[in-house]
Amino acid sequence: MNQTEIIKNLPYKKPFLFVDELTEISENGIIGNYTFKKNEFFYEGHFKNNPITPGVILTETMAQIGLVCLGIFLLKDEILSEEKKPKIALTSNNIDFFLPVLPNEKVTVISEKEYFRFNKLKCKVKMMNEKNELVCRGTISGMLII
């Protein structure tokens, strides 16, 4: 399964799709990126005249790339054989934030699988900005159901 097929199988669409590209995919992890466009829906009210990307959106971006895309790749045989879209339930996250992300900023999410059993996936994730500075990092877990 290639990056286009993985993104096509995501259960999201604009304006709530935060995956532009997947650059590395393996059984043990995934790397992808997203550019936060200046006209994203959440900038209008977060914060007046000084927009920054909300932490919940950064967490969602890490979950979409680092957990859901990796989960789709890990379940590719079942998804392709049954032609079903996976259902995802986030079960926990613990994220520490270090730097803001501004409009028009590109971020890269790097995810490393900690474990995947009984369709529960837990990953260590981190987000880097274009200067290769750490924006945030933590762990995200979720259930993947076909």
List, by residue number, the catalytic residues: 46
108 strand-pairing partners:
33, 128
Helix (H) or strand (E) holding 93: strand 87-97
Measure Cα distances from 28 to 70, 111, 134 in Å. 9, 8, 21
Name the strands in the sheet holding 120-128, side by side, starting at the edge strand that comes first in the sequence.
Answer: 21-26, 29-36, 105-117, 120-128, 134-145, 87-97
Q: Is 119 exposed, middle or buried (0-12, 13-18, 19+ CB in 10 A)?
A: middle
* DSSP symbol at 11: S
Q: Which of 23, 21, 56 is nearest to 40 (CA)?
A: 56
